[in-house]
Amino acid sequence: MAKTFIFAIGGTGARVLRSLTMLMASGVKGMTEDICPIIIDYDLHNGDKDRAITCMKRYSEIQTLVAQGESNIDSKIISEYEDCHKGYRPYFSTKIGQLNGIKNWSWQFNLREEMESLKYSDYIDYDNVNLYTPTSQDFVNCLYDTNINSVYTELNLNMKEGFQGNPNIGSVVFNDLKEYPEFNNAFSNNFRAGDRIVVIGSIFGGTGSSGIPKIVNAIRNHSKADIKKASLSVVLVLPYFAVNSSNDNEISIKSNIFNSKTKAALNYYERSGLNALINSIYYVGDKVQTKVEPHIGNKAQKNDAHIVELIGAMSVAHFITSASNGKYKFNVVNDIVDGVGIHELVGESNSWAQNEFVTSILHNMVNFMLSVHYFLDNIVSSQKRMDERQFYKELKLDFDNKKMRSSGNSIPIQDYCAAFYDFICKKEDLSDTDDGFWPWMQELHNQQSHGTHRLKIFNLDKGNIVDFLSEFNFRSEPTRINIPFRGEVEIASARPLMDYSDQFDSSLNNSLVPYRKGQKQLQEESKEAYPYIFNDILTKMPEEVRKFNAKLEERFKMVP
């Protein structure tokens, strides 16, 4: 199977990768290729990077269980099921691959440990540079700020937190790219004819703007022909946040020059011929910039998810699922609410935002959230009621005090549910962790508190499944009658159009039909098959709920 290698550069690259993982969880149509992420960040302990890696690990655990289940299920059940549902991609279908040949590979470059305490002046051996050429130190002094009284000057910059917005430093360090075994050996040895490459990074900081040209040139000048001529896409993230500081001099990152740095980078990419080496370029940004706290790096740098990162992830998905090449430019000008709001992403023509691609992704996200609600409300929180359902008895969903995995040896379906629970990050645990799908969604929705655009689809603070979709009413109109001398009186209040749990489990729900028919057969199935079965049910149930009755279907037409 073909793979797409994704070079995610810096904190922005990691955040886009986190969003892409969430999209893959909800099932992106046509995304049948494996992806192989490669994170490059010289900020060795960046919080955004760690969060993306945690998210991918949880995703991979589920994906492995589902894939093993598919290989163990009886083909008769699969064929009957596929006859009922065509054109939909199950949750967690896309495999996140590994770089074979790297010990303890965790989707990131194992960068030099000396970066932990290395100043840039030490990296270039500034004190001894005159040993090579008498005037070398003078030349370096012309290129870099040498003020010895500040830790934020370029030569004094501690590189343990990355390049801190300095592409002139990053360009030098990235020259060592080919020396790393992850690129020189593992990437080269794992790449096959037909595989594709995506490079993601911001161009208003230091790591992305310097790393993108180096990686593109390293690919196009590679000794291996298959890599040299590979289909290559670049996602260029333009300014979308600014450092919330009263004094830019207090930190090394100067948000007041983001725009000028962006213009310089774009000008260089065009003049140098770099753009001509790329098959598809996606420009993504937001003129209304989010204010973030001045964390320059390390574990404290964990920015809330942003709609620009979501669009960046959609760009990656579009490249993987589309055969077309070109330039795609997006400027967020409104909240994303529904299909109408989607069109307002567009800054220029040649945009996939004006076709069904984005709508289909948002459609999957809504369905996935419906499944999440069902899982939390009717599997996790309603053990007694669940045990009364014969179908779930057959799947052995016998959790031990809601801990998902039973004490002792767990079975695959319990492993699936435990991993799914971790991936979601249940509502009650939001104060303890922010790695999961639920907090990611909440961060996207709450961007309004930062004064910028947001994903305005879900009301995550609403406990009732009927009310969690923003601006969409899933309740009937109240019944009123006119009574003499009293006027209009309400005799029946608004009721939900759906009893959510009953509609999911209804005998009319076609998602269950193949499995109910084969219930006796299920008893004979390998227990490894159950994660695949349950994942398929979770995937297809929302689609059936959408068309459960005429009123409900009419309301859902307004929803992506």
Q: What is the tens place of the pLDDT at every residue in 463-504? A: 677 777 777 777 777 877 787 777 777 777 777 776 666 666
pLDDT at 256: 52
Give 43-66 pLDDT, tens digit per residue: 777 788 889 999 999 999 999 999
DSSP letter string, 97-124 = ---TTSTT--SB----GGGGG-BHHHHT
Going by their DSSP bridges, the two strands 487-492 and 479-483 should be labelled as antiparallel
Rg (CA), the chain: 26
- Report the pLDDT averaged over residues 394-400: 59
Share of the chain above pLDDT 90, in %: 18
Give 282-337 pLDDT, tens digit per residue: 998 887 766 655 555 555 567 888 889 999 999 999 999 887 788 888 887 777 76
Residue 26 lies in a domain: no
Residue 282 lies in a domain: no
243 beta partners = 292
- Report the pLDDT averaged over residues 132-141: 62
Residue 341 pLDDT exceeds 50: no
| Last residue within a domain, chosen from 157, 184, 211 | 157
**331 contacts 237 by C-beta, under 8 angstroms:** no
Give 501-542 pLDDT, tens digit per residue: 666 666 666 777 766 666 666 666 778 888 888 898 888 888
Residue 312 lies in a domain: no
Residue 190 pLDDT exceeds 60: yes
Query: Running DSSP on this structure, what letter comes out for residue 375?
Result: I
Q: What count of other Cβ atoms lies within 10 Å of the Cβ of residue 406?
A: 15
Which residue is associated with the tokens 């992704």?
361
* Residue 451 backbone zone (phi > 0: left; psi -120 to 50: alpha; other: beta): left
Residue 257 pLDDT exceeds 90: no
| Last residue within a domain, chosen from 130, 157, 184 | 157
pLDDT category of residue 338 using cuts at 50, 70 and 90: very low
Residue 216 lies in a domain: no
Residue 124 lies in domain: 119-157
For all residues of the chain together, what is the average pLDDT?
Answer: 75
Structure-model confidence comparison of residues 52 and 405, the more confident one = 52
Residue 255 lies in a domain: no
pLDDT at 530: 85
pLDDT category of residue 249 using cuts at 50, 70 and 90: very low
Residue 485 lies in a domain: yes
Could you tell me which of 351, 297, 56 has the C-alpha nearest to residue 157?
297
**467 contacts 474 by C-beta, under 8 angstroms:** yes
Reported pTM: 0.84
Domain count, the chain: 2
| Last residue within a domain, chosen from 95, 130, 157 | 157
Residue 123 lies in a domain: yes
Structure-model confidence comparison of residues 446 and 408, the more confident one = 446
Could you tell me which of 36, 15, 31 has the C-alpha nearest to residue 92?
31
Give 167-176 pLDDT, tens digit per residue: 555 555 666 6
